[in-house]
Amino acid sequence: AVEGSSMYLNAGDRLSLKDLAIGMLTVSGNDAAYGAAVAIGGSEEEFAKLMNARAKELGMEHTNFVTASGLDADEHYSTALDMAKLGAAAIQNEDFLAICSKTQSTATFVNPPRTQSYSNHNKLLKLYQGCIGIKTGFTKKAGRCLVSAAERDGVRLVAVTLNAERPYQTIRLWFFSVIQHPYG
């Protein structure tokens, strides 16, 4: 039982990390993020250390992770620029990109055996031609957030909105203006 959005894991469920990623990236499964953190790091605290080490490698100078899911916590923070750096790095991973760019995905549970389909919460995948992901988010403290990526004519862009009342409209306008009038 983890606060917020869930892929509805039950105690004893077994599934691959890839299938946990499907839950995290499509329906913001906080339970999946916690499960992956424990599986990889042994605990959420140890996993946060791994996340912070990777953030440092990516040049994310104004970020400190405490929770695997992004839920609010003291000393858990980031910036739009740092989230853009993370998003740009993440979409270089073909498995990650394959999951976050789909409007529908299916996770396969090993034990008990079953499959579960999930609809991606990222409305931009349907609203903006060329959208290839990345991730929605919401907490009371951060508000509505969206890390987005789009690709057209070989140009790939990443944009971030934090605490936005209407993140989809904001990003669509930004992508349109940059794609139509690229900066030099």
- For 87-102, the pLDDT digits (tens) are 999 999 999 999 999 9
Among the residue ranges 12-26, 53-67, 103-117, 156-170, the one predicted with the least confidence is 156-170
Distance separating alpha carbons of residues 9 and 98, to the nearest angstrom: 22
8 A C-beta contact, residue 156 and residue 149: yes
User: Is 16's pLDDT higher than 70?
Assistant: yes
| pLDDT interval class at 2 (50, 70, 90) | confident
8 A C-beta contact, residue 85 and residue 60: yes
- Picking from 64, 32, 36, 35, the residue whose alpha carbon sits closest to that of residue 51 is 64
Distance separating alpha carbons of residues 102 and 135, to the nearest angstrom: 11
- For 92-130, the pLDDT digits (tens) are 999 999 999 999 999 999 999 999 999 999 999 999 999
| Predicted local confidence at residue 184, as pLDDT | 44
Six-digit token pair at 104? 């529908």
| pLDDT interval class at 165 (50, 70, 90) | confident
Interhelix angle for 44-57 vs 30-41, to 10°? Answer: 90
Q: CB under 8 Å to 108, separation ≥6 — which residues?
A: 15, 16, 19, 114, 115
User: Is 179's pLDDT higher than 60?
Assistant: no
Q: Percent of the chain, pLDDT > 90? A: 79
User: Is 47's pLDDT higher than 90?
Assistant: yes
Tell me the whole-structure pTM to 2 decimals: 0.90
